[in-house]
Amino acid sequence: MQSLENNTVKSALNEKPGFHVWWRLLRPHTLTASFVPVFIGTMLAILDGSIHFLLFLAMLVAAMLIQAATNMFNEYYDFVRGLDNENSVGIGGTIVRDGIAPKKIFWLAITFFLLAMLLGVYICLQSNWWVMAVGLVCMLFGYLYTGGPYPIASTPLGEIVSGFFMGTMLIGISYFVQTMTITTDMIVISIPVAILIGMILLSNNIRDLENDKENGRKTIAILLGQEKAVTLLATCFLVSYVLTIVFIGLGILPIWSLVALLSSKKAKQAIDGFRGKKTNVEKIPGMVATAKTNTVYGALLGLSLLIQIFIPFSL
């Protein structure tokens, strides 16, 4: 019976053997949360007249390695703590469904961290060694997100921490290594991006609400309940779009950034994907749409900054 349930989950999640197992471990649908901030931070630097393409690539790969490692630590520690089983969704499933040794996942995550540190050395040689210190802090929080005695992901602070480090901090580092400075406008522009990244975690927690509650977690989704948590998700989407419009009106963002509002279609799909849904599998479309909202918003916002370089326009 257990094997039948396992196969049913695999079928529902379209899981395949072979290379697909390791691809799922990376949770590729979440990696845009590291691509988007690096892209936006670099586009802001270009707008301010500074670009080092190899630094951009190094930052991008390092950021994605750190996030992938964080996902692996998540997989490992959730298994160790008994939070994941054969029927859990929203995970790579490499341990509980594919039989990959947990320690192998753990050491692969460590390897990814080490590779990110090597790239960090190159980045520091081209910019400033303070970047390494900030990068190590980001890596520490990536580990503590699910590792350590008090995992951040199990608290109401998970969304805030992930949004700050993956949004504001990553945009700031990406901008700093190109320009060797930090500006108020850059920090302000990072706010809606940070909110949307935090919403990726909120959507995960809405999906896993019942299972997390049974395992003693205290996420904001559990404290609010599903209906209010979905309302919070919708409110945060709205705040991000309102801030974008305000920043355009104030001249902080170019008029071209209105194109980022096109991502609101995905935001609506995310809300509709959660309303009235009961099972984890039913909530997957809402979670996927939330991640895509961040992807589309970030990509369009970054492109709008690039357009401003070639077609300057101000209100």
**How confident is the model over 177-231, as pLDDT tens digits?**
999 999 999 999 999 999 999 999 999 999 888 888 887 889 999 999 999 999 9
What does the pLDDT look like over 257-295, one tens digit per residue? 999 999 999 999 999 999 989 888 889 899 999 999 999
Question: Is 179 part of any domain?
Answer: yes
What b/e readout covers 202-240, taking b as 16+ CB neighbours within 10 angstroms?
A: bbbbbbbbebbeeeebebbbbebebeebbebbbebbeeb
The pLDDT value recorded for residue 268 is 97
Structural domain includes residue 7: no
Our count of domains for the chain comes to: 1
Residue 272 lies in a domain: yes
Structure tokens at 32: 């845009």
Residue 67: name the closest of 136, 142, 134, 144 by CA: 142
208 in a structural domain: yes
User: What integer best gives the mean pLDDT of the chain?
Assistant: 87
Residue 91 has pLDDT above 90, yes or no: no
Structural domain harbouring 234? 19-309
Through-space distance between the first and last CA atoms of the chain, rounded to whole angstroms:
65
For residue 92, what are the CA distances in angstroms to 25, 123, 228, 312? 4, 31, 28, 44
Least confident of 63-77, 91-105, 140-154, 197-211: 91-105
Residue 2 lies in a domain: no
In a domain, 11, yes or no: no
Any domain includes 14: no
Asked if residue 66 is part of any domain, the answer here is: yes
How does pLDDT run across 131-147, given as a tens digit for each residue?
999 999 988 998 898 88
Q: How many other CB atoms are found less than 10 A from the CB of residue 112?
A: 23
